[in-house]
Amino acid sequence: MSHDGRIALTRDGVALSRLVFGAWRLLDGGVRPDADQVARLIGTAVDLGLTSFDHADIYGNYEVEAAFGAGLSRWNGKREEIELISKCDIMLASANRPQNRLKHYDTSAAHINASVERSLGNLGTDYLDLLLLHRPDPLMDADETAAALAGLVKAGKARAVGVSNFTPSQFDLLASRLPFALATNQIEMSVLKTSALTDGSLDHEQRLAYAPMIWSPLGGGSLFTGKESREARVRAALAAVAAEVGAGDLAAVAIAWLLRHPARLVPVLGSMKPERLAAMVKAQEIKLDRQQWFAILEASEGRPVA
Ligand SMILES: NC(=O)c1ccc[n+]([C@@H]2O[C@H](COP(=O)([O-])OP(=O)(O)OC[C@H]3O[C@@H](n4cnc5c(N)ncnc54)[C@H](OP(=O)(O)O)[C@@H]3O)[C@@H](O)[C@H]2O)c1
């Protein structure tokens, strides 16, 4: 981590903000935001220190990137002040992709190159700061995929490349064919989804010293809306810890729980509400001690550690 809290992903200077803005739900509200509204949201995020924006070609049924790009063109900041992340390889069965008869994955060079060109055009930029393979593809030819990714870096279309939802062994296979290190693995984790602690993912990240990005860090909102006993237990534990540390917001404590891990987890925040984003960035000021961290884990697992 550098002194300003940014997370270095590569040796040659690609870095992300400590917390990332996730754009998946940009078009999920009842009314589609216009370009000026998106520009204001981008400005709010940047003012809060969320300079990195996480996209995928498929978000919003293949429509989020273009809506975000329209907003970006109205935003009064400079391209170099932000980082744009996108992903490819999921092929949705969608009216926007009539050639896809069913949902599948595609890590062929042809698809990766075509998808990146579309993402660049939609976002209105000539480079991505980070390109991720969205899901492991059982038909991935590691040599072909690695050559395509390396070609995009060489051409300056992606400053860095990484993966998402890969097991350590899938990561190692692709990494073995690349002339540079994979920058990250974006995985699911939250106070409600703790499997990365024990399935080898975070061990792999610390061993290779890359910073994992974390998706659905609030369980996609189920932390607040969920009616299961696990969610209720975790909310009670978060409230108890919030009272101890003087935090006003349970979501901020849930994010602080992720930030406490030594593998330098980079949570991708999914809220589209400026006031919720503002509350969550305060997670960076919350320091949980070991017993507070374990109290939240215990509530999630429903039992003390062995
Ligand atoms: N790589 C992958 O496979 C993958 C998969 C999924 C997501 N992602 C990335 O991860 C990002 C984050 O995922 P996510 O959206 O699931 O993250 P999340 O932060 O766990 O969930 C966001 C959802 O929770 C709601 N929420 C937030 N605070 C709340 C509160 N206090 N009370 C009630 N609801 C609340 C938000 O609603 P409001 O907008 O109303 O606040 C939003 O619907 C995505 O944008 C995307 O970039 C990646």
In short, whether 215's Cβ falls inside 6 Å of ligand 1 is yes
Give the tens place of pLDDT for each residue, 247-273: 999 999 999 999 999 999 999 999 999
Structure tokens at 63: 């429509």
In short, whether 235's Cβ falls inside 6 Å of ligand 1 is no
Which of these, 177, 196, 169, lies nearest to 161 by C-alpha position? Answer: 177
In short, whether 25's Cβ falls inside 6 Å of ligand 1 is yes
3-state secondary structure of 248: coil
Per-residue pLDDT of the chain (306 residues; tens, 9 = 90+): 444 689 999 887 899 999 999 999 999 988 899 999 999 999 999 999 999 999 999 999 999 999 999 999 999 999 999 999 999 999 999 999 999 999 999 999 999 999 999 999 999 999 999 999 999 999 999 999 999 999 999 999 999 999 999 999 999 999 999 999 999 999 999 999 999 999 999 999 999 999 999 999 999 999 999 999 999 999 999 999 999 999 999 999 999 999 999 999 999 999 999 999 999 999 999 999 999 999 999 999 999 999
Give catalytic status of residue 127 as yes or no.
Answer: no
Please, which contacts does 72-75 make with residues 24 or more away whose CB atoms are closer than 8 Å?
72/38, 72/39, 72/42, 72/123, 72/124, 72/125, 73/35, 73/124, 74/35, 74/36, 74/38, 74/39, 75/39, 75/42, 75/43
Backbone angles phi, psi at 214, to 5 degrees: -120, 115
**Which domains are assigned to the chain?**
7-183 (3.20.20.100)
Structure tokens at 36: 């000026």
The span from the CA of 231 to the CA of 299, in Å, is 9
Q: pTM for this one?
A: 0.98
270 alpha carbon to ligand 1 midpoint, in Å? 3
pLDDT for res 1: 41
pLDDT for res 282: 97
**Atom of ligand 1 at shortest range from CA of 25:** 45
pLDDT for res 2: 43
Decide: 21 and 53 in contact? Cβ < 8 Å. Answer: yes
The span from the CA of 59 to the CA of 150, in Å, is 24
